Amino acid sequence: MDPIIIGIGGGTGSGKTTVAKQVRKHFPETSVVIVHHDSYYVDRGDLPPASREKINYDHPDSFDNELLIAQLTDLRGGREIEKPIYDFETHTRQKETITVRSARIILLEGIMVLAEDALRETMDIKLYVDTDADERFIRRLKRDIANRGRTVDQVIEQYLRTVRPMHLQFVETSKRYADVIIPEGGLNLVAVDLIVTKIKDILADS
């Protein structure tokens, strides 16, 4: 059978990755692979560092969706891929890649995965993780400082300049495409269990 592709969209810090991990733990490790949209940012290595800082990384055009769709096609065809590694501190794609095998279940998570027609067409199930804006901002603040080399001022400036307006324009509006909306992300174990049950039914019928 073809792999099942499940798209998990939602705002920054909404808990998309947590939902993906909660779903994954209900299946054999070899049966589920998680693909992060964040890995497919366009490589800005051709630009000077100062110019890279001015780019709107919260716009759909900042992602290399052509590569992502090609690699999802390979995974769906049972072939492994070389997933890119993106460096958020330098806004460049590293030379190294990560080999990702195909699996029965492919979880594609990211803020813009439901906002793009071509990406949605690859999905069998579409989820949207809905979490309050203040909670999402606090999570992003902690993450960007701890893992992406940002200062508090940088995180706040980017949030006000691009993250919030792009969320309202592209991410929030993509909610209408979801088959299921999950309030409070991975903390909503009832919703996660319903998704897991649906996946098991699909696998059993195939």
Q: Do 82 and 101 touch, CB atoms closer than 8 A?
A: no
Question: With a threshold of 0.75, does the pTM exceed it?
Answer: yes
Measured at the alpha carbon of residue 173, what is the angle toward residues 146 and 85, in degrees to the nearest 5? 35
Q: Tell me how far apart the alpha carbons of residues 182 and 185 are, in angstroms, rounded to a whole number.
A: 6
Position 148 scores a pLDDT of: 83
Position 53 scores a pLDDT of: 83
Q: Tell me how far apart the alpha carbons of residues 36 and 26 are, in angstroms, rounded to a whole number.
A: 19
Position 30 scores a pLDDT of: 87
Position 89 scores a pLDDT of: 85
Tell me the mean pLDDT per 10 residues along the chain, length 206: 92 91 91 95 92 90 97 96 94 95 96 95 96 89 87 90 93 96 86 92 80
Mapping DSSP to helix (H, G, I), strand (E, B) and coil, where does residue 113 land? coil
Structural domains of the chain ordered from first start? 4-201 (3.40.50.300)
Position 206 scores a pLDDT of: 65
Q: What tokens were used for 140?
A: 């992003």
Q: What tokens were used for 182?
A: 């999950």
Q: Find tokens 């009832």 and name the residue.
A: 190
What is the per-residue pLDDT across 159-173, written as a single tens digit (0 to 9) for each?
Answer: 999 999 999 999 999
Q: How far is CA 53 from CA 48, 156, 174, in A?
A: 9, 14, 26
